[in-house]
Structure 1
C-alpha cells in the first residue's frame, strides 16, 4: 500500500517510516517546513501527488504547557489538521489512523478510563486533541484514533532520555509519584498501525474496526516507578544511577494541569482489533539497548 505519514522526525513517525517498507508498504513522510498540515491547499496537493491508499497522522502540537498561552497554533495543528486530512481522505476513499491522548480526560476517575467515559479535558492541549478526534471522525468515518500516553522511544524528546541525561548530571532526582499511567513505546504504536492497515483498507464505513480505541503499554505504574525501571535498566548496562526521591504533583507545579490518572483501559482494542497492549518493560529494554552501550558492570 501507498501510505502517507504526516510527520517525519517525531517519535512515532520515525518508527513508522522505518517499519512500513519492511512490511511491504511504500511510505512517504511529510512535515514542516515542506508541508503545512493546517493548509487545505497543501493537504489536497499532497493527496494528488502521492495518491495514498492510507494515511497515518503522527503529527501533533505537543507542548502541553505552552499550549495554555498558545492556543491558536495548538488547535490549528491538533484540530484543524485532522479535519483537513479527514476531508481529503474521504474524497480519496482512503482510511486514516490518528493518534490522540489521555489528556482528553480530567484524570479524576478512580479506575482506568474506557472509550465509553465522557472526555473532560482541563487544558488547551487536551481540548485541542479532543477537537481533532471529533472533527476527523466527522469528516471521515473510516478512521481509527488511538488514544495513548507517556510515549517514549530512542528518538526525540521523552521521559527516558530526560531521565538518563538528568541522571548523568545530578546525583539525586525528584520524580512525581502520584500520577498513574503506562509508558508506551513508539515502535509498538507503529507496529499496531501497520498490522491494522490491510483490514482498514478493505473495510467499509460502519465496520467495528473504525472508531476510537485506547492503546498504551502495560502494566500501569507511576512516573517514579517508570524512573526506577529506567535506572535499573541503565545500571544493568553499566551506567551509574542517581538516588530517586518520590514527590507529589504539588511539589512540581506546571503551567498545565497533568492528569493524576492517565490509565487507559485497552481491552476494546484487543477485542475488536486483536491488538494487545504491549509490555512497556520490553520496550524499555529495546530503548535502552539503542541508547546505551552494553557494558559489563
Structure 2
C-alpha cells in the first residue's frame, strides 16, 4: 500500500525556517515559484517564503520519538536522546551495521531511513516530504522584516536586529510507502517482515503525520514567532499495488484539487486494471471550494479536520493489514 497526502495550511507571521543563524538580519528561506500569467501566455517567477522538507522531516522524527515513548515502541538511544546528540545521527559514525536489527530496534530509523557510510549500510526513508510552499495561484504571499531590539548588557547600547516573517496559504506534500515499514529484503531480495507488531508501527507512522500538523511540531523560532496557523484543506489517497500521488492542494481557475485528484485516480485505476489497482480517496475542505465529487470506481470519504482524516485513513489501512 502507498499513502499520499497534500495539505493546505493557512499560516500567518511565521519564521519557521531561517537560513542564517546569527547576524543583524535573519532571512526567511525563500524559493522561486512559477505563476501563470494573467493573459494565459506562459509563466513568471515569483520569490516566495518556504519551509524546507528537511525542517518538516525533523519535526516528524520528533513526533515519532514522542509517540514511540508513549506507546513503549522500540526506539534506539541515539534517537531517544536526539536533543543532547544535536540531531538524529542514526548511527552515522558506526563502523558496522546490521540492517535487520537496526530496523527492528528503532521505529524512527525504520520509517525515516539512515545511512552508515563506513559499514555500507543504508535504508531509504519510507516517508517523503515536499517543501512547504505557497499556493500563489489562488492567494498572495508576503515577506515582512520585523524590527527587534536585543536587551543591552551593562555599559552597552541596545542592539537592533530584524527577522523576516512569511504569510501565505502553504501547500505541503507527504508520501508514505506503507509496504516498507518493518520490512527488509531477504537474501533473495524478497520482502521480509522483521518486527513483531507491524500494524502498530504503521499506525504510529501515520499518527505522527497528524501530530506533526495538529501539534505544529516542525520549525524553529516558535518561542516568539509561534504562527497563527490552521489546516484548511487536504486530499489523501491509499493506493495498491501501484503507487498513486494526489494532486497538489492548490486552487486553480479550472478545477479544485480534490476534483482533479478524483478524475486522475479514476483514469489511473482503469489504466492499471490488469494489476487490479484500487484507490481510496479522503479529503477535508474548510474553504468551501470543493464541489460534489464522485466516481464509479473510487471510494471517496470526507472529513472535517486533520485528526478525523487520519483516523479514517488508519481504519482502512488497519483493516487491509488484518485481511
TM-score category (smaller protein): under 0.3
Larger helix fraction of residues: 1
TM-score for both structures, normalised by structure 2: 0.26
Higher relative contact order (CA 8 A, sep 6+): 2
Larger strand fraction of residues: 2
TM-score for both structures, normalised by structure 1: 0.28
